[in-house]
Structure 1
Amino acid sequence: MPEKILVVDDEVKVCDFLSEVLSQEGYQLETADSGRKALELLRQKGFDLLITDLMMPEMDGLRLLELAREEDPNLAVLVITGYSTVETAVEAMKKGAFDYLPKPFKIDQIKVIIDKALKQRRLMEENRRLRQELKETRPRLVQIIGDSPAMRQVYRLVEKVAKTGSTVLIRGENGTGKELIARALHRYSDRSQRSFVSINCAALPENLLESELFGHTRGAFTGAVAAKKGLFEEADGGTIFLDEIGDISPAMQVKLLRVLQEHEFIRVGETRPRQVDVRVLAATNRDLERAMAEGGFRPELFYRLNVITVTLPPLRRREGDIPLLANHFLSKYRQKTGRGVASISREALRLLSAYPWPGNVRELENVIERAVILCDGSEITPADLPKELQDGWTRKDGTGPIEAGMSFKEAVSNFQRELILKALAESGGVQARAAELLGLKRTTLNEIMKRLDVQ
């Protein structure tokens, strides 16, 4: 089906000229002589590309650009004008124009720009379609971005244990999304209509943590002018999430163990135990087995917490998920900031996919938020990324596909794996497109992926 282009100019000659020339290129053309008429056509029919003059009566091209992209955020827009200034060009790009072309222009020049704009539009629509497919095929239980094999395993496990009421220990590096998993476990449990409360156990000193968890009676300590419920009481009937559980003191471990074993606790300043019905979810980025061996963590508490373990993979083990996450955060911060950034370039996606992400998903989100704010055009490019990403894809530990002690066969396999992952990232996970980028048949790529265990 031919792609649809809407040309808007109050000069009929310009509309007729572009309509004739671009129709010969196989595009479906319509024209309008005002911004108001253009908006009506956009709402009625939808278009892939809008070409608009800048200076028009009633509604200028910049205002039309704004309103058109409110209707369709993925619409490619080319602004043309006979009154070109640097200021208006910058303003058009900030509002989301793909490009800005002064009159008079050469027809070959505009053909090249149109081709690039429509390629970007196709890529964005493909990404949108893939994200929708992902929503539909992912287990309905957990609306978390990611479709790598490691994350699919997490989804299946969460779906199994959500309704059991069992204690769950969520393990993973900082920034991997442990609290998101905890909230999903609560949301799809039988306790979902009751409270979900969370606390970072590493953020408070021991005396304050005890009061925060178990509450206190009036006069229990200096400043306790009134009795206060703790989080366990607030979560009664619901779920409590104890983040950074590996950082609590031995004395606090004993008190938590009592809650898990006896379903009761004592407020600070009281002697009478109080009963509580609460599901406990805990999370840590620490090696609790080592902490037990070194005497820093009580084995009894570990075994009470570790009924079910959900282990979240670091982002560097989820490279196929990086384009999905990056585009998700782009949409989030485009809406939040009102910026006209519509896409991420292939070169920028390649750098994002190659970076090891020591701060995991949280770091990726920060990078995309920064890029959306700093980007001057409609597309995030490598120049909008931090320097450590621009410097290339070499790992922070100094290694790439080839590491010390590898055999030749292992090095070749690693190199092939890196190439395939980069092609998949660049193609948005579409294997047919990845095969084309690598110069392979799709069947050949599938065979290599199976051999290398690349999903």
Structure 2
Amino acid sequence: MLTRTRPTVLCIDDEVRSLETLERTLDDEFEVMIASSAEQAIKLLKQHSVHAVLCDQRMPGKTGVELLSEIRHQWPNTVRLILSGYTDSEDIIRGLNEAGIYQYITKPWHPENLLQILRNACQLNALQEESELLAMEMRLTREQAEQNIAAKKARLQQNFALDEIKRGASSPLNEACEAVQKIAPYDVSVLVTGPSGAGKELFARALHYNSLRAERPFIVENCGAMPDELLASELFGHKKGSFTGAINDHIGLFEQADGGTIFLDEIGEITPAFQIKLLRVLQEREIRRLGEEQRRKIDVRIVASTNRDLEEEVRAGRFRQDLYYRLAEMTLELPALAKRPEDIPVLANSFLQRAMKEFDKPVDGFTQEALACMQAYAWPGNVRELQNEVRRMLVLAQDIYLGADLLSPRVLRAVPEDEAQETELWVGLEGSLKDRVETLEKRILKETMIRHRWNKSRAAKELGLSRVGLRSKLERYGFESRTGEVNSEENTSCV
């Protein structure tokens, strides 16, 4: 069981009887030390932790005020009290000003009154020490917070460095990365275009973290399918009571992003009415919260994105030309994932590494066959769809490699580019019925064999064929030799 230590009180008086009386009175509640001179008192203070000092005013050598002034300088947290039989107002004022005394106690003193005064003095000392500890804790916490923020910023800058954007050696994204490197240092608005899921936000962040604004906030707002009033409230802020539901003042995202970058995703979805409001903000570089008259200056870099053809929208009168040119000082076009098949293995393996950490489920990678099927698929959902597919494969996996049999049917049935050309040739209007049927049969055979991991018995059963009949068709379409290759790859090959 922990025992609480008693506070320590140092009593200083040149009269021995006075010290004995003080010691008897205080001994039940305090650890009492006594000193008959200033020199002896200083020596004790150097050797022990003292919570309160009770000192007589009239002593040979140094007065009580002079001694307590010295104690105040060396041990400022020790609470200082004067004990005197004289009530000279000059002594009291000097004690308050020079020694910073807590209490001036006159003789004769009442025991219970003295005990209560010293209890309060020691409690004050404890509070002072706690305050210092809290202040130190706050300093450490602030330093820790600053270190954590700096480390997080460093990680963000590293994660969104251009060489960290996952792509193949000769990827079409190389051109976009080179453009980011050139554009990022200059404070110009950038319009990022490309299909949904192509990585527009990734490049917006790369623009920010490679710019001079990298230390300031990066704020994201999706402008799609949001009513004008709500979007205005989110971007510009509002005053309490400015509309139904505005129960508090709200700082808008433009103000939150001050000094940094604001990313306006799906900018092509905003209404013509809101386009006028946004244009004014970009022109004047100031915002006005809903319900306020005051205008506030802002310093933000605008990066916007869209999957629409904004030039066509301008020609059709659905998007303001002046706003378009404000947003598109520089443009960055991202190709669809189908246009960069060599990026697919790199991205798939990157997503797999993340998913393995998240699900705590390690595997050794993909089979070559799985990657080939992925590269043959068009990925209408782009990078986002690929990421979801990789996560799905890992969840379903029961082997050390992720094989093609784990792919979704829509991916598995994809036609490679060379076969797509063949399909167009033989299944087109000029092809005979026999040619069309054979091409379709070939595709069905391939999809079924992959899904059953090239197990002929299961595939034959599903297709209603005998094993001999299935083998004959596989040989006819050139799949028999590829079967052996795939089986060996499933056992040994991964990327």
Give the TM-score range, shorter chain: 0.5 to 0.7
Alignment of 1:248-267 (within 5 A): 248-267=270-289
Which position in structure 2 is the counterpart of 1:188? 210
Which position in structure 2 is the counterpart of 1:144? 165
CA distance in 2, matches of 1:156, 1:257: 29
Which position in structure 1 is the counterpart of 2:371? 349
Residues 160 and 401 of structure 1: CA distance in aligned 2, closer, same or farther (over 3 Å): farther
- Kindly provide the amino acid, as one letter, of the partner of residue 246 in structure 1: G
Q: 2:399 pairs with 377, 399, 419, which one?
A: 377
Alignment of 1:292-331 (within 5 A): 292-331=314-353
1:315–1:360 Cα contact (<8 Å) kept: yes
| Runs of 5+ unmatched residues, structure 1 | 1-138, 407-455
Task: Give the TM-score normalised by the residue count of structure 1.
Answer: 0.56
CA distance in 1, matches of 2:421, 2:166: 27
State the SS of the aligned residue for 1:202. Answer: coil
* Equivalent residues, number: 269
- Kindly provide the amino acid, as one letter, of the partner of residue 394 in structure 2: V
2:171–2:342 Cα contact (<8 Å) kept: no
- Kindly provide the amino acid, as one letter, of the partner of residue 380 in structure 2: P
- Kindly provide the amino acid, as one letter, of the partner of residue 207 in structure 1: E
Q: 2:299 pairs with 277, 280, 284, which one?
A: 277
Pair 1:222-2:234 in alignment: no
- Kindly provide the amino acid, as one letter, of the partner of residue 273 in structure 1: R
Alignment of 1:66-105 (within 5 A): none
Q: 1:338 pairs with 345, 360, 372, which one?
A: 360
Q: CA deviation at 1:229?
A: 0.7
Indicate the structure (1 or 2) with the bigger Cα radius of gyration: 2
1:175–1:360 Cα contact (<8 Å) kept: yes
Q: CA deviation at 1:326?
A: 1.0
State the SS of the aligned residue for 1:199. Answer: strand
Q: CA deviation at 1:401?
A: 5.7
Which position in structure 1 is the counterpart of 2:181? 159
CA distance in 2, matches of 1:367, 1:142: 25
CA distance in 2, matches of 1:354, 1:369: 19
Residues 304 and 404 of structure 1: CA distance in aligned 2, closer, same or farther (over 3 Å): farther
Q: 1:179 pairs with 193, 201, 213, which one?
A: 201
Q: CA deviation at 1:377?
A: 0.4
2:192–2:306 Cα contact (<8 Å) kept: yes
State the SS of the aligned residue for 2:179. Answer: helix
CA distance in 1, matches of 2:344, 2:239: 49
State the SS of the aligned residue for 2:238. Answer: coil
Q: CA deviation at 1:203?
A: 4.4
State the SS of the aligned residue for 1:319. Answer: coil
- Structure 1 segments, 4+ long, off by >6 Å, are none
CA distance in 1, matches of 2:300, 2:346: 35
CA distance in 1, matches of 2:420, 2:279: 43
Q: CA deviation at 1:391?
A: 2.0
2:189–2:303 Cα contact (<8 Å) kept: yes
CA distance in 2, matches of 1:399, 1:342: 31
Alignment of 1:103-122 (within 5 A): none
1:212–1:230 Cα contact (<8 Å) kept: yes
1:142–1:184 Cα contact (<8 Å) kept: no
- Pick which of 303-312 and 139-148 moved more: 139-148
CA distance in 1, matches of 2:283, 2:364: 53
Q: Deviations over 1:60-109 (max 9, x none)?
A: xxxxxxxxxxxxxxxxxxxxxxxxxxxxxxxxxxxxxxxxxxxxxxxxxx
Pair 1:211-2:233 in alignment: yes
Which position in structure 2 is the counterpart of 1:83? none
- Kindly provide the amino acid, as one letter, of the partner of residue 236 in structure 2: F
- Kindly provide the amino acid, as one letter, of the partner of residue 206 in structure 2: A
CA distance in 2, matches of 1:252, 1:330: 41
CA distance in 2, matches of 1:282, 1:391: 36
- Kindly provide the amino acid, as one letter, of the partner of residue 218 in structure 1: K
Q: CA RMSD in A?
A: 2.4
Q: Which of 1 and 2 has higher RCO (CA within 8 Å, sep 6+)?
A: 1
CA distance in 1, matches of 2:336, 2:305: 15
2:396–2:406 Cα contact (<8 Å) kept: yes
CA distance in 2, matches of 1:267, 1:257: 16
Which position in structure 1 is the counterpart of 2:142? none
CA distance in 1, matches of 2:233, 2:421: 49
